[in-house]
C-alpha cells in the first residue's frame, strides 16, 4: 500500500470509509498479522487523534500487549478483567461512554475517559482485541463499533 495515509474530509463515517479501503489495501499486500496490527493501530490513531490505540493478543488465559500507539500501557490483562477482558469473555464489542462507570475498568492512563474494545476474530476464535481510549467522554458510538468491527474482520480473512 501507499506509505502515506490519506485522511478524508468530512465526518466520522467518511473518515472510516476511506480508512477501511486503505486497511484493505494494506492487508492485501502483507500477510503477517502483527505487522498489520501495527499499521492498523497507526492508521486509526493518526486518522482520529485518539489517546491510545492498540491491540492485546490472546495468550493462554491472558491478553498480552501487542502493537499500539500512545502512552505506556499495562502488559497483561486477565480473562474477564477490565474492558478488554470483558470483550474477550462476552465475545462482543464494549462501548464505554464513561470508564469510571465501568466496573473493573483498568486505568492504564488516568486521562482516559471513554473507551471501545472490539474482539478480533480468526474463524470462530477470538485471537486479540482492538482497544481504543479517548480523553473525552462518550467518544465512541455505533458508527465506531460498525467500522472498527469491519476493519478488524479484515485481519484474518
Q: Which of 39, 93, 112, 139 binds ligand SME (CB under 6 A)?
A: 112
- Rule CB under 6 A: say whether 51 interacts with ligand SME: no
By CB under 6 A, residue 82 contacts ligand SME: yes
Per CB under 6 A, the list member of 24, 106, 126, 127 interacting with ligand SME is 106
Cα distance between residue 73 and residue 119, in whole Å: 18
Distinct helix (H) and strand (E) counts, the chain: 4, 6
Ordered strands of the 114-122 beta sheet: 76-78, 62-69, 52-59, 125-134, 114-122, 94-96
Helix or strand (DSSP H, E) at 94: strand 94-96
If binding is defined by CB under 6 A, does position 84 make contact with ligand SME? yes
Rounded-to-integer distance, Cα 100 and Cα 23, Å = 32
Nearest alpha-carbon partner for 137 in 118, 117, 112: 112
Kindly indicate which of the ranges 14-22, 32-40, 103-111, 119-127 contains the residues binding ligand SME, using the contact rule CB under 6 A: 103-111
Taking residues 116 to 135 in sequence order and writing x for each that binds ligand SME by CB under 6 A, - otherwise, the string is ---------------x-x--
Residue nearest to ligand SME (CB): 82
Selected binder of ligand SME within 37, 83, 148, 151 (CB under 6 A): 83
The residue among 33 and 66 lying less far from ligand SME, judged by its C-beta, is: 66
The secondary element (H helix, E strand) that includes residue 62 is: strand 62-69
Residues of this chain that interact with ligand SME (CB under 6 A) are 52, 73-74, 77, 82-84, 105-106, 108, 112, 115, 131, 133
Amino acid at each position: 500500500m501507499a506509505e502515506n495515509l490519506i485522511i478524508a474530509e468530512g465526518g466520522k463515517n467518511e473518515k472510516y470509509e476511506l480508512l477501511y479501503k486503505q486497511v484493505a489495501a494494506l492487508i492485501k499486500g502483507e500477510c503477517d498479522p502483527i505487522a498489520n496490527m501495527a499499521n492498523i493501530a497507526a492508521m486509526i490513531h493518526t486518522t482520529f487523534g485518539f489517546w491510545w490505540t492498540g491491540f492485546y493478543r490472546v495468550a493462554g488465559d491472558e491478553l498480552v500487549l501487542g502493537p499500539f500507539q500512545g502512552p505506556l500501557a499495562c502488559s497483561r490483562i486477565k480473562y474477564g478483567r477490565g474492558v478488554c477482558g470483558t470483550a474477550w469473555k462476552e465475545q462482543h464489542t464494549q462501548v464505554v461512554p464513561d470508564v469510571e462507570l465501568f466496573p473493573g475498568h483498568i486505568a492504564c492512563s488516568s486521562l482516559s475517559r471513554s473507551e471501545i474494545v472490539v474482539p478480533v476474530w480468526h474463524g470462530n476464535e477470538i485471537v486479540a482485541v482492538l482497544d481504543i481510549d479517548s480523553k473525552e467522554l462518550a467518544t465512541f458510538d455505533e458508527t465506531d463499533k460498525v467500522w472498527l468491527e469491519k476493519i478488524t474482520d479484515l485481519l484474518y480473512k
